[in-house]
């Protein structure tokens, strides 16, 4: 059921490292706000007719990032919605500029140990292939967190029910809207 918070006049884009819960929390957030939800990785797979892992393997990361930017630009257009992005999307300067200009960017953040435990449950992430999740995520956090910090809103995602993370986002959105 939609809440009393006015529906934002622009898309909400969730950014952050893999495993932080952008898709899971994003679906619940969209439902609470009465908005549509889209996952940019799913949309990329649909557009390319290949899985993310296949795109990385066949065409490389640079080609993937270019396609990702174009898909995110398309998703931002139209009625406001909640968009979950892949962990590296916000690292692309053009994608980041577009997100910061046209959306409400929310950085979902979690400690590396929590993220490593979460991503170890599945083996579908190309960047983790044959790597130690904790070490990779520690290095990614060191490089990416300063960039993620450019998002309009920062919300910590901890080992807690997803609904609590959703409520933290809603509280932050209300505060952000009141400052505008």
Strands lying side by side in the sheet with 104-109:
36-39, 81-84, 12-15, 104-109, 153-156
In a domain, 5, yes or no: no
Question: Residue 40's closest CA among 115, 101, 132, 103?
Answer: 103
Residue 152 belongs to domain with CATH number:
3.40.50.300
Q: What Cα–Cα distance (Å) separates residue 83 from each residue in 34, 90, 113, 131, 178?
A: 14, 12, 25, 28, 22
Pairing of β 12-15 and β 36-39? unpaired
pLDDT in tens, 146-177: 999 999 999 987 766 778 889 999 999 988 88
In a domain, 3, yes or no: no
In a domain, 86, yes or no: yes
In a domain, 46, yes or no: yes
In a domain, 78, yes or no: yes
pLDDT at residue 1 above 90? Answer: no
Q: Which domain holds residue 21?
A: 12-179
In a domain, 100, yes or no: yes
In a domain, 18, yes or no: yes
Average pLDDT over residues 140-144: 95
Q: How far apart are CA 155 and CA 84, in angstroms?
A: 14
Count each helix (H run) and each strand (E run) in the chain, helices first.
7, 5
The pLDDT mean for the chain works out to 88
pTM to 2 decimal places: 0.89
Number of domains in the chain: 1
pLDDT in tens, 26-74: 999 999 999 999 999 999 999 889 988 888 889 888 888 888 999 999 9
Query: Both tokens of residue 166?
Result: 């959703």
pLDDT in tens, 75-87: 999 899 999 999 8
Worst-scoring range by mean pLDDT, 24-28, 82-86, 124-128, 133-137? 124-128
In a domain, 7, yes or no: no
Q: What share of the chain is helix, strand, coil (3-state, %, to 5)?
A: 60, 10, 30
């Amino acid at each position: 059921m939609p809440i009393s918070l006015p529906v934002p006049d622009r898309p909400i884009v969730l950014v952050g490292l893999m495993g932080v819960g952008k898709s899971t929390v994003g679906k619940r957030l969209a439902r609470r706000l009465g908005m549509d939800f889209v996952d940019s990785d799913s949309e990329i797979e649909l557009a390319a007719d290949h899985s993310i892992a296949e795109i990385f393997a066949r065409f490389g990361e640079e080609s993937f990032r270019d396609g990702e930017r174009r898909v995110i630009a398309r998703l931002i257009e139209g009625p406001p919605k909640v968009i979950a992005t892949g962990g590296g999307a916000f690292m692309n300067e053009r994608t980041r500029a577009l997100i910061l200009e046209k959306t409400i960017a929310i950085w979902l953040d979690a400690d590396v140990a929590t993220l490593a435990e979460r991503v170890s449950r599945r083996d579908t992430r190309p960047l983790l292939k044959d790597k130690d999740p904790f070490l990779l995520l520690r290095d990614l956090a060191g490089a990416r967190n300063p960039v993620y910090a450019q998002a309009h809103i920062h919300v910590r995602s901890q080992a807690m029910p997803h609904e609590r993370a959703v409520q933290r986002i809603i509280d932050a959105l209300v505060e952000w809207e009141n400052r505008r």
